[in-house]
C-alpha cells in the first residue's frame, strides 16, 4: 500500500493524520487514498493510546476530489450494479465508522474540500476552516450528473433540514468559509496559523463523539417526515421546479430529491444504503459518464494545455494589445486586465477606444456595488487598460488580438499597422469566428506568428477559447497563445484551420436546420420548443436574432465570395436574405427578427406565416428534435473526418462550453458513442431520405468505425485523422 498519510501521535493522545500524496500538487481520492484512510482509521479506533484524531492536509487544499486517471479508466470499463455497489458502499461505511467509532475526529480544513473530500469532513465531529480566500466547501457532484455517494445527502439533510439542504445539493453550491460557518457546515473559521491548534483544543476538551442523529429522539430540523404538510409541499414544488428546469434530461436532481425524501424516513444506516443505490443508478446512466468525461476529465486536460507543443519555453504575458474596442474587444481587455496583464486597447478614434474602457469601468463598478470586489481593485484593474489610437503603443507587447469587423480589408489594415509595431517573437492573433486563418495571414510578413483566438461573448463570462492553427502557424506562436489563454483562466480547444473552424460551423448546423424548417412550413413555436426539450438553452430562431440576422446575411455573402471546393449555400440563406433584404429585420438589435421585441419581452413574429405558410401536416415533436440534433452530429463527424478537429475531446468541450450543446449528452462525440455507430448511421440515413441527402450524409469515417467496432472514446477509440500542414481545405 502506498501511504498518503503521515501519522503523528502526541503525548496528550491526539493523533494527527496529515494527508500528503507523494509527487502530487493536490491530494486526490484514488484506491491508495481510500485504503490508507481505512488503515489509519481502524488503527486509531483500536489503539487505546489515541484519545482523538485530527485530520488535515499538507497541500494547499484538503482533498481535491476524485482522481482523474482512475475516473477515466473506469469510464472505459463495462459496469454492473452489483459490482458498483460493492465498490462504493464500503467507503460510505468507512466514514460511518469515523462517526460512530467512539473517538472524536476533528477536521482542519486548510483549503478547498469538495465532493468526497467534504464528505470526509462532514463525517468528522468537528470542522475548523482556515480564513483563506481559496477555501471552498461543498458537494458539487450534480454538475457532472451524480450525487454525493458517501453520506453527503444524508448528513446535509440531518444538519440543515430539507429546505436548506436541497438548494445546496441541487445547485452543487461551493461555499466560502464564512458562508459555511453561517450555515452550520463548519464549526469555526480561524486564521490559517491558528487552524491546527484550534482543532487540537477542541479534541482536548473531551467532547462527546456522538452525532445528533445517533442520539435518541433526534428530529430532522424543520420537519421529520415528508408527510408533514409543509415538507410535502416543499417536495412537490421542488419536484415540479426541477422537472421544468431540466426537462427531465438530467437524472441527478431527481435522484437527489428521492434520496432526501426516502432518507428522512429511515435511520441513518438504512438511509446510506438508499443513497448508495441512487449513486450506483446514476453511475450506470450514460448521462453521468458523458458529463464526467467532458466537463471534468476532458476540460481538465484542456485547462492543462494538452496540445501545447513541447520544448517551447513558457511565456508570461505582461503586456498585450487589443485591436477594436467594441463589445468583444472591451470584454477581452477587461479579462486580461483582471488577470494582471497591461492592455493597450486601440480603436479608430479616441472616443471609440474610451468607450471600450468605459465598458470595463461599468462592469467593475457593478462588482464593487454588489460587494464582489473593492474600489481599490477596480482602480488597479482600470489602470492597466490604456485606451488609444496610436499603434506605436503596442511596442513591448508580446501578443496582440484583433477584434474588429468580419471584413477582410479592415482586418488586413489593422494587421499591417500592428505587425509594424510589434517586436520579433510577438504573436498576432485574430478573434474571427469564421474567416480562415491561413487566408487572413496572407498579407503578413511573419505568417508563422499568426494564429486564431476565437473568444465568445461576453468574454468575461464565457469560459471557452477556440484556438485555430493556420497552415503557417509555428509551434512557438501556438504555445505562447495557449499560455495567454491559461493566464486568463479560460479553457482552450485546438482546431485546424477551415471556414467556420469547429464551433461556428457546428452551431451553424443547428441554426441552419431550424431556419430551414421555417421555409418548409414547420411552425416556429414547434421548432423552438423542440430545441428546448432536447436541452439547448434557446432555440435556433432566438439564437439567430441574438447573433444578428444582418451579420448572418453578410457572412453568407462573404462565404459565397470565398467559394471553395463543393461550396453550396446553406438551406437557411434564402430565409435570412428574405428577412434582412425585403423586410429589414436584423434581429434583436433593431427589435425585429424571427421575434418581435419590445419592453414587454419577445414574441414570434406573426408575419412569418404570411411569407412561409404553415404546412397542413406538421412533423412530430420527435422528428423536429432529431433533425436539429442529428444535423449537428453529422457535422461534427465531418469535422473529425476532415481533420478540422484534432481530438474528440476538443469537439465535446468546445460544443458544451462554447455554443450551448446539451451538457447531459456530453458533446457530439460522446452522444454518438452513446447512440452507437450503427444507430447513428440508421437514423442519419433515414433523415437523408426524408429531409436532405446532403445535410445528413455521414462521412466514410463513421462507416469504417461501424465496421471495425470503433468508438470515439474507450478501449477501441478512434485515432483522429491528422491533417498535414498546408494540405488543401
What strands, in cross-sheet order, belong to the sheet with 385-388? Answer: 385-388, 342-346, 319-323, 399-402, 427-430, 450-455, 464-469, 491-496
Could you check whether the bond before residue 458 is cis, i.e. omega within 30 degrees of 0? yes
Q: Which residue, 383, 352, 336, 626, is CA-closest to 489?
A: 336
Q: Which of 52, 65, 116, 324 is catalytic?
A: 116
C-alpha cell at 227: 408527510
Tell me the sheet residues that pair with 319.
Answer: 342
Angstrom distances, CA of residue 107 to CA of 9, 121, 193, 212: 16, 6, 15, 18
For this structure, is 119 an active site residue?
A: yes
Q: Which of 44, 64, 65, 66 is catalytic?
A: 66
Angstrom distances, CA of residue 148 to CA of 123, 144, 271, 282, 701: 13, 11, 13, 11, 39
DSSP annotation of 600: T
Q: Which residue, 503, 411, 428, 498, is CA-closest to 465?
A: 503
Radius of gyration of the chain (CA): 28
**Which is it for the CA torsion 68, 72, 73, 75, positive or negative?**
positive
Q: Which of 106, 111, 141, 441 is catalytic?
A: 141
- What element of type H or E holds 25? none
For this structure, is 72 an active site residue?
A: no
For this structure, is 141 an active site residue?
A: yes
CA distance 59 to 111: 8
CA distance 365 to 369: 6
CA distance 53 to 59: 19
Q: Which residue, 46, 55, 45, 48, is CA-closest to 8?
A: 55
Q: Which of 44, 52, 115, 119 is catalytic?
A: 119
CA distance 572 to 553: 10
Residue with cell 443513497: 275
Q: What value, to the nearest 5°, has the Cα angle with vertex 400 and ends 397 and 406?
A: 160
Q: Do 292 and 145 form a contact (C-beta atoms < 8 A)?
A: yes
Q: Which residue, 163, 142, 149, is CA-closest to 246?
A: 142
Q: Which residue, 297, 291, 287, is CA-closest to 72?
A: 297
Phi-psi region of 152 (alpha: psi -120 to 50; beta: other; left: phi over 0): alpha
Q: Do 322 and 403 form a contact (C-beta atoms < 8 A)?
A: yes
Pairing outcome for strands 399-402 and 427-430: parallel
Chain-centroid distance of CA 81 in Å reads 28
CA distance 334 to 337: 5
Q: Do 206 and 177 form a contact (C-beta atoms < 8 A)?
A: no
Q: Do 655 and 636 form a contact (C-beta atoms < 8 A)?
A: yes
| Phi and psi, residue 389, nearest 5° | -120, -10
CA distance 377 to 371: 12
DSSP annotation of 713: S
CA distance 31 to 37: 10
Angstrom distances, CA of residue 123 to CA of 55, 285, 331: 11, 28, 44
Angle between helices 152-160 and 251-263 (to 10 degrees): 60
| Phi and psi, residue 612, nearest 5° | -125, 90
Query: Secondary structure of 201-228 in the HEC alphabet?
Result: HHHHCCCCCCCHHHCCCCCCCCCCCCCC
**Catalytically annotated residues:** 66, 116, 119, 141
Amino acid at each position: 500500500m502506498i501511504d498518503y498519510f503521515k501519522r503523528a501521535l502526541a503525548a496528550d493522545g491526539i493523533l494527527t493524520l496529515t494527508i500528503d500524496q507523494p509527487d502530487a500538487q493536490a491530494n486526490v481520492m484514488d484506491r491508495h487514498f481510500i485504503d490508507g484512510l481505512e488503515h489509519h482509521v481502524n488503527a486509531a479506533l483500536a489503539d487505546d493510546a489515541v484519545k482523538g484524531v485530527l485530520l488535515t492536509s499538507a497541500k494547499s487544499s484538503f482533498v481535491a476530489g476524485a482522481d482523474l486517471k482512475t475516473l477515466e479508466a473506469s469510464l472505459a470499463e463495462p459496469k454492473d450494479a452489483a459490482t458498483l455497489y460493492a465498490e462504493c458502499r464500503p467507503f460510505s461505511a468507512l466514514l460511518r465508522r469515523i462517526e460512530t467509532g467512539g473517538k472524536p475526529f476533528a477536521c482542519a480544513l486548510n483549503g478547498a474540500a469538495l465532493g468526497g473530500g467534504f464528505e470526509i469532513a462532514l463525517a468528522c465531529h468537528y470542522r475548523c476552516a482556515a480564513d483563506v480566500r481559496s477555501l471552498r466547501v461543498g458537494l458539487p457532484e450534480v454538475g457532472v450528473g451524480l450525487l454525493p455517494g458517501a453520506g453527503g445527502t444524508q448528513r446535509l439533510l440531518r444538519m440543515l433540514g430539507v429546505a436548506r439542504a436541497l438548494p445546496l445539493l441541487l445547485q452543487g453550491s461551493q461555499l466560502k468559509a464564512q458562508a459555511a460557518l453561517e450555515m452550520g457546515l463548519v464549526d469555526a473559521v480561524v486564521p490559517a496559523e491558528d487552524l491546527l491548534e484550534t482543532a487540537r483544543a477542541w479534541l482536548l476538551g473531551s467532547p462527546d463523539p456522538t452525532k445528533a442523529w445517533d442520539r435518541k429522539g433526534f428530529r430532522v430540523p424543520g420537519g421529520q417526515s415528508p408527510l408533514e404538510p409543509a415538507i410535502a409541499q416543499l417536495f412537490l414544488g421542488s419536484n415540479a421546479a426541477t422537472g421544468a428546469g431540466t426537462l427531465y434530461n438530467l437524472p441527478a436532481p431527481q435522484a437527489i430529491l428521492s434520496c432526501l425524501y426516502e432518507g428522512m424516513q429511515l435511520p441513518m444506516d438504512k438511509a446510506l444504503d438508499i443513497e448508495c443505490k441512487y449513486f450506483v443508478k446514476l453511475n450506470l446512466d450514460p448521462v453521468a459518464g458523458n458529463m464526467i468525461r467532458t466537463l471534468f476529465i476532458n476540460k481538465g486536460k484542456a485547462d492543462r494545455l494538452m496540445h501545447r507543443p513541447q520544448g517551447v519555453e513558457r511565456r508570461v504575458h505582461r503586456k498585450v494589445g487589443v485591436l477594436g474596442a467594441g463589445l468583444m474587444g472591451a470584454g477581452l481587455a477587461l479579462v486580461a486586465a483582471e488577470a494582471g496583464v497591461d492592455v493597450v486597447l486601440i480603436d479608430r478614434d479616441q472616443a471609440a477606444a474610451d468607450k471600450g474602457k468605459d465598458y470595463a469601468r461599468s462592469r467593475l463598478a457593478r462588482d464593487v456595488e454588489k460587494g464582489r470586489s473593492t474600489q481599490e481593485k477596480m482602480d488597479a484593474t482600470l489602470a492597466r487598460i490604456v485606451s488609444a489610437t496610436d499603434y506605436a503603443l503596442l511596442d513591448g507587447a508580446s501578443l496582440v488580438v484583433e477584434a474588429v469587423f468580419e471584413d477582410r480589408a479592415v482586418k488586413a489594415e489593422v494587421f499591417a499597422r500592428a505587425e509594424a509595431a510589434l517586436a520579433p517573437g510577438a504573436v498576432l492573433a485574430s478573434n474571427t469566428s469564421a474567416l480562415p486563418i491561413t487566408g487572413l495571414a496572407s498579407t503578413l510578413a511573419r505568417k508563422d506568428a499568426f494564429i486564431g483566438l476565437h473568444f465568445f461573448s461576453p468574454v468575461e463570462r464565457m469560459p471557452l477559447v477556440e484556438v485555430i492553427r493556420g497552415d503557417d502557424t509555428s509551434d512557438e506562436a501556438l504555445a505562447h497563445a495557449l499560455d495567454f489563454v491559461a493566464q486568463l483562466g479560460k479553457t482552450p480547444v485546438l482546431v485546424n484551420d477551415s471556414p467556420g473552424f469547429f464551433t461556428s460551423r457546428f452551431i451553424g448546423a443547428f441554426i441552419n436546420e431550424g431556419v430551414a424548417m421555417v421555409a418548409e412550413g414547420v411552425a416556429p413555436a414547434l421548432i423552438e420548443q423542440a430545441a428546448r426539450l432536447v436541452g439547448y438553452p434557446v432555440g435556433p430562431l432566438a439564437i439567430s436574432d441574438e447573433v444578428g440576422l444582418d451579420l448572418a446575411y453578410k457572412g453568407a455573402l462573404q462565404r459565397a465570395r470565398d467559394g471553395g471546393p463543393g461550396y453550396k449555400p446553406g438551406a437557411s440563406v434564402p430565409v435570412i436574405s428574405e428577412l434582412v433584404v425585403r423586410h429589414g429585420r436584423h434581429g434583436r438589435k433593431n427589435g425585429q427578427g424571427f421575434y418581435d421585441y419590445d419592453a414587454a419581452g419577445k414574441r414570434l413574429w406573426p408575419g412569418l406565416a404570411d411569407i412561409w405558410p404553415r404546412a397542413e401536416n406538421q412533423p412530430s415533436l420527435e422528428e423536429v428534435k432529431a433533425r436539429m440534433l442529428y444535423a449537428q452530429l453529422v457535422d461534427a463527424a465531418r469535422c473529425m473526418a476532415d481533420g478540422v478537429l484534432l481530438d474528440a475531446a476538443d469537439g465535446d468541450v468546445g460544443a458544451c462550453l462554447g455554443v450551448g450543446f446539451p451538457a447531459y449528452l456530453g458533446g457530439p462525440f460522446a452522444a454518438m458513442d452513446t447512440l452507437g455507430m450503427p444507430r447513428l448511421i440508421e437514423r442519419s440515413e433515414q433523415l437523408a431520405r426524408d429531409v436532405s441527402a446532403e445535410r445528413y450524409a455521414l462521412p466514410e469515417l463513421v462507416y469504417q468505425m461501424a465496421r471495425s467496432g470503433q468508438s470515439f472514446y474507450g478501449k477501441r477509440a478512434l485515432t483522429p485523422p491528422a491533417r498535414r500542414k498546408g494540405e488543401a481545405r
